[in-house]
Amino acid sequence: MNIEYFYYFREVADGLSISKAAHVYHMTQQGMSRAIGQIEREYDVRLFNRAGSTISLTEAGASFLEYVKRIIENHNLLNDSMNHFRSKEVASENETITVYVTHNVAFNIWPSLRRRLAAACPDTAFNVREMWQTDMVGELGLVPKSNAFGLVTLPSTFSDILRTTSICLQPLMDIELMAYVAKNSPYAKRNTITLDELASAKLAMLDDAGLDLMLTTLIGRDRYAKVNAFRTSNRDLLEEEILYNGAVGFTNTFVKNYCLKDGITIIGIEQTFKTPLYLMTSALAELNEPARKAIDSLASIVTEVYSEVAFSSSAS
């Protein structure tokens, strides 16, 4: 089981509130309930008493909480220990680069880029942090950093506004909106899903303001207001919705054959559009040498490995 689920359980157990825990982790209440349900199914035990909107720990739940706290404490100690060893392997603090990524980029794009970037910059440690677009702008725009950059997908309206601030944006590649479906779904036998089907389907999508804006642009405000969508920042929960609950995953990606969980495939969306993946840096800070090398390596990776999606100003 993913370690994140223990953090979810602890948050719910400490506050005895699913809605408050969901807010802390930027999830829907439904998504948090599913996470707790999965833990209970995994261990075949009831952890909470439920009476309407009120919950309390069962005897098993109280015992489970004590073990979970130890697991989380040991997990943090493990991270601290490994960070200590990693810092020894890196020649200097300047060679640790912070990469800010949105949830959408972390889910669809970063895993493939990371492997190649690590190979291109073997002496650099990459500290990856997931955050919202607005938080990323604050991190890079308000506190200039010489050893950090961000990767973010933005509609043209957002990018035009940011260009008037202390943020620099460099387009790297074109990202196309796609649909994720279970391989046993009727949609999987086709190449595309229509906009009418997208508007009426149960959707599963990352809790990302940019994706919401793109969905609104595609299907219109009226239909968007009626969309039945499960939103989460947790990859496992997203894939569960697609695999077991017949949801259509709405997201954007750059390679149709990137590594997916068994049972899921990607199809196109009728009348979709492309939006660039931007490299975001601070205009107020001069990047250090490791950061410049990493950025140059990213550009080379896109040009050489993903030439079919390298940014083109003529993209629709």
The one-letter amino acid code at 153 reads T
- pTM beyond 0.75, yes or no: no
CA-CA distances (angstroms) from residue 94 to 81, 118, 126, 128? 20, 16, 11, 15
Q: Cite the residue boundaries of each domain of the chain with CATH code 3.40.190.290.
A: 92-316
pLDDT at 217 over 70: yes
Give the pLDDT score at 86.
56
Give the pLDDT score at 158.
61
Torsion over CA of 108, 110, 112 and 113, rounded to 10 degrees? 140
pLDDT band, very low/low/confident/very high, at 93 (cuts 50, 70, 90) = very low
pLDDT at 64 over 90: yes
What is the CATH architecture assignment of 4-86? Orthogonal Bundle (1.10)
pLDDT band, very low/low/confident/very high, at 94 (cuts 50, 70, 90) = very low
Q: Which token pair is 193? A: 């899903």
Q: Cite the residue boundaries of each domain of the chain with CATH code 1.10.10.10.
A: 4-86
Q: Which residue has the tokens 């219109």?
A: 220
pLDDT in tens, 157-190: 566 666 667 888 888 877 777 888 999 998 988 8
Contact criterion met (CB below 8 Å) for 249 and 177: no
Of 96, 105, 101, which is closest to residue 146 (Cα–Cα)?
96
pLDDT at 316 over 70: no
- What number does CATH give the domain 92-316? 3.40.190.290
DSSP labels for 8-67?
HHHHHHHHT-HHHHHHHTT--HHHHHHHHHHHHHHHTS--EEEETTEEEE-HHHHHHHHH
Distance CA 14, CA 17 (A): 8
pLDDT in tens, 252-288: 655 444 446 678 888 888 877 677 788 999 888 889 9
Higher pLDDT pick, 43 / 302: 43
Contact criterion met (CB below 8 Å) for 247 and 202: yes
- Tell me the helix, strand and coil percentages in the chain, rounded to 5: 50, 25, 25
Give the pLDDT score at 253.
59
Do the strands 202-206 and 228-232 form a parallel or antiparallel pair, or are they unpaired? parallel
Give the pLDDT score at 68.
92
CA-CA distances (angstroms) from residue 19 to 5, 54, 78, 238, 245? 15, 11, 30, 18, 22
pLDDT at 65 over 90: yes
Question: How far from each other are the two terminal CA atoms of the chain, in whole angstroms?
Answer: 41
Higher pLDDT pick, 99 / 22: 99
Give the containing element (helix H, strand E) for 252: strand 248-253
